[in-house]
Amino acid sequence: MVESAAAVVKMALEEDIGAGDVTSKACVPADRRASGVFLARAPLILSGVTLLPIIYEARGGVEELNIFHRDGERLEEGTRIATVRGLARTLLECERVALNFLQRLSGVATLAHEFAAVVEGTACKVLDTRKTTPGLRRLEKSAAAAGGVTNHRMGLFDAILIKNNHIAAAGGVRAAIQNSRGAGLPIEIEVRALDELNEALACGATHLLLDNLSPQQAEEWIRIVDGRATVELSGGIDLDNVRSYAETGADFVSCGAITHSAKAVDISFRLELL
């Protein structure tokens, strides 16, 4: 995680600073020192704060960095997240990258927390998905977990999820399941029709993904499953209906919006001269 985070931070800094921060070089003396504070401007669930040391270290370091809260904490408006002290040019050239990560990842964590809160009291867990920003998957999934949801597979490499196009390419539900058994990985299969559901159960499927059903349909299909497999629901699930899906008896509901549609939260950075 640290290595991948460092690589993403390096890319983000290079993208923003390029050959140099021409504005800061033009108007701020090289030896000018300053302090800065990161402030929550609205209630939020914090995520991404562990990137701050990596960001500043990549630009030569700072004199002092104090982080007051951890990922996963709920912060109220006006809360100080962290303070930093060092060369003014360093603080200025790192400002936007630091805020971009904090605002984006805290936005994911905050939305994830909302989903987790809505299903609280049910036996159903909310899962994230692979619908993430390219290059930021590990960070966004970490943010989702900080918000209280459960991480689904990280990528195509750590679990088998047979979806409708895999079924078509394999030649059917039975072939897809049988061909996958020798991989030694967890197997989940998506079913979209009752005949596929029954065939998957007949083949011994133990983890089913039921896609694009209404809560009423999902409840009917889960009665057919009758505990023979764990059930995940997906498709069209949002904050307004997730509770209804969670109450169908499903083990999991998955929602891509947690990562692909999270709104960046309002965090500011204020700089003062020393």
Q: With beta carbons less than 8 A apart as the criterion, state whether 152 and 130 touch.
A: yes
- pTM here is 0.95
Of the residues 163, 174, 192, 243, only one is catalytic, namely: 163
The answer to whether residue 96 is catalytic is yes
Active-site hit among 85, 96, 125, 243: 96
* CATH class of the 2-115+263-273 domain in this structure: alpha beta
Q: Residue type for 135, please?
A: G
Is pLDDT at 2 greater than 90 in this prediction? no
Of 3.20.20.70, 3.30.1330.20, 3.30.70.580, 3.40.50.2000, the CATH number of 116-260 is: 3.20.20.70
Q: In the chain, list all ranges with CATH 3.90.1170.20.
A: 2-115+263-273
Asked if 190 is an active-site residue, the reply is yes
Over 90: is that where the pLDDT of 197 sits?
yes
Q: Does the annotation count 163 as an active-site position? A: yes
- Active-site residue 141, yes or no? no
Which residues of the chain are in CATH 3.20.20.70 domains?
116-260
Give the confidence band of 4 by pLDDT, cuts at 50, 70, 90: confident
List pLDDT tens digits, range 213-229. Answer: 999 999 999 999 999 99
Catalytic one of 131, 138, 192, 243: 131
Tell me, yes or no, if 10 is annotated catalytic: no
Local structure of 53: helix, strand or coil = helix
Report CA dihedral (195, 196, 197, 201) to the nearest 10 degrees: 110
pLDDT at 3: 60
